Amino acid sequence: MDLLASILYDTVYHAAPIILCVIGGVFAYQANVLNIALEGMMGIGAFASTLTVYFTNSLVLGLLAGVLAALIFGAIFSVMGVTLRGNVIIIGVALNLLVTAIAGFVMVRMNVANISLSSLNVSDLQIIIPGIDAIPILGPIVSGHPILTYVAFIGIWLMWVLSYRTKFGTYVRVVGENEDAAKSLGLKTNFYKIVAILIGALTCGLAGINLSTERLGLYTNGMTAGRGFVAIAAIYCGRGDPLKSSLYAILFGFARSLSINLAIYAGPASGLFDVIPYVVMVVVLLVVQVSKRRNVRTRGFANG
C-alpha cells in the first residue's frame, strides 16, 4: 500500500510541470505553430526564478522573474517565427540551447556547479489541505504539494474553457485550421498566433518555477530533462485539446513515477528503469499515429 501511495503521489508530483507546459502549449498547436521551444521556455523560467530567489530571498520576485524570462523567450520566438516567418524548428532548437549556454555562463561566473537555495526550506512551500490530508490513501496523494502543482490541475479546466467557450479560443482554432479563411474574416492571424505562443511561454515559466524553486530549491543545467518535448508529445497525442493532452501528461508523469519507485527495489539494475518514461512516450505516439491512420483510411473508404 505504501508503494502504491508513493507511486500515485509522485505521479502528481512529476505530472504537474508537464501539465503546465501542455495547457499553455496547446494554443500554439491550435494556431498551427509548432512550438519546439517549450523546453527552453521552461528551462529559462527555472533558471531565472532560482537565480532571483538566490540573490533576493524573495519568492514573489522569483515568480515574476521566471515568468518574465519565459515571456521574453516567447516574444523572441514569436517575432522570429511568426512576424519574420523564420523556421520555427531551428528557432526553437536555438532557444533551447541558449538556456544551457546562459545558465552555464552565469554559474561559471558565480563559481558554482548549480544554484542551491540553502536559505529556502521547500517543505514549507507544501500546502496541507485541512480535512483531506487525514483521508486514508487520498490524503497523502492530494495534499502536501506546492501551490503551482494545484494551479496546474485547476489550469486544465481554465484552459479548456478559454479554448472552447470564448471567442479568443474559437479565433485561434480558426486561424490554425484555415489561415486564409481567417484573414478573409478580418482576423489578424499573426496576433492570435503570437498571443497563443505567449500563453504557452507563461505556463512554461510556471512549470520551470515549479520544477526548480518550489520542488527542489535548486537549479542545475539540464534539469528539465526533456519534459518540454514530452509536453509536445502529449499535445500531439491529445490533438490540442487541453483535457485530453493533460491526460497524456498525467500518463507520462505516472511512467516517471513508476520508474523512480521501482528503481528503489531494483538494486544494480535500477538505471534500466530510467528509460520507462521514454519507452512509454514512444509507444503512446506509435499507438496514436496508427489510430489516426486507421481513421483516415476508414473515412476514405466511407467517402469512396
250: cell is 498525467
162: cell is 478559454
Output b/e per residue, 171-197; b: 16+ Cβ within 10 A: bbbbbbeebeebeeeebebeebbbbbb
Residues 37-95: pLDDT tens digits? 999 999 999 999 999 999 999 999 999 999 999 999 999 999 999 999 999 999 999 99
Q: Is pLDDT of 270 > 70? A: no
**Domains in the chain: boundaries:** 2-303
Residues 132-182: pLDDT tens digits? 777 877 887 888 899 999 999 999 999 999 999 999 999 999 999 999 989
* 150 burial level (CB within 10 Å; 0-12, 13-18, 19+): middle
Q: Is residue 147 left, alpha or beta, with left meaning phi > 0 and alpha meaning psi from -120 to 50?
A: alpha
Q: Is pLDDT of 123 > 70? A: yes
What values do phi and psi take at 121, rounded to 5?
A: -100, 105
181 vs 269, higher pLDDT: 181
Q: Is pLDDT of 106 > 90? A: yes
Q: Is pLDDT of 26 > 90? A: yes
**Helix, strand, coil share of the chain (percent; to 5):** 80, 5, 20
**Contacts of the segment 137-140: beta carbons below 8 A, 24+ positions apart:** 137/1, 137/4, 137/5, 140/5, 140/9
Closest by CA to 179, choosing from 47, 32, 38, is 32
* 273 burial level (CB within 10 Å; 0-12, 13-18, 19+): middle
Instruction: Kindly give, in sequence order, each residue whose CB lies less than 8 Å from that of residue 148, ignoring residues fewer than 6 positions away.
Output: 16, 20, 206, 209, 210, 214
Residues 6-23: pLDDT tens digits? 888 889 999 999 999 999
Whole-prediction pTM: 0.91
Which residues make beta-bridge pairs with 126?
146
Residues 171-217: pLDDT tens digits? 999 999 999 989 988 999 999 999 999 999 999 999 999 999 998 89
Residue 275 confidence class, pLDDT cut points 50, 70, 90 = confident
Pairwise CA distance, residues 216 & 126, whole Å: 12
Pairwise CA distance, residues 199 & 235, whole Å: 15
Give the pairing type, strands 126-127 and 115-116: unpaired
* Domain 2-303: top CATH class: mainly alpha
Say how many residues make up the chain. 304
Tell me the average pLDDT of the chain: 89
Residues 21, 226 contacting (CB under 8 angstroms):
no
Closest by CA to 69, choosing from 94, 87, 91, 95, is 95
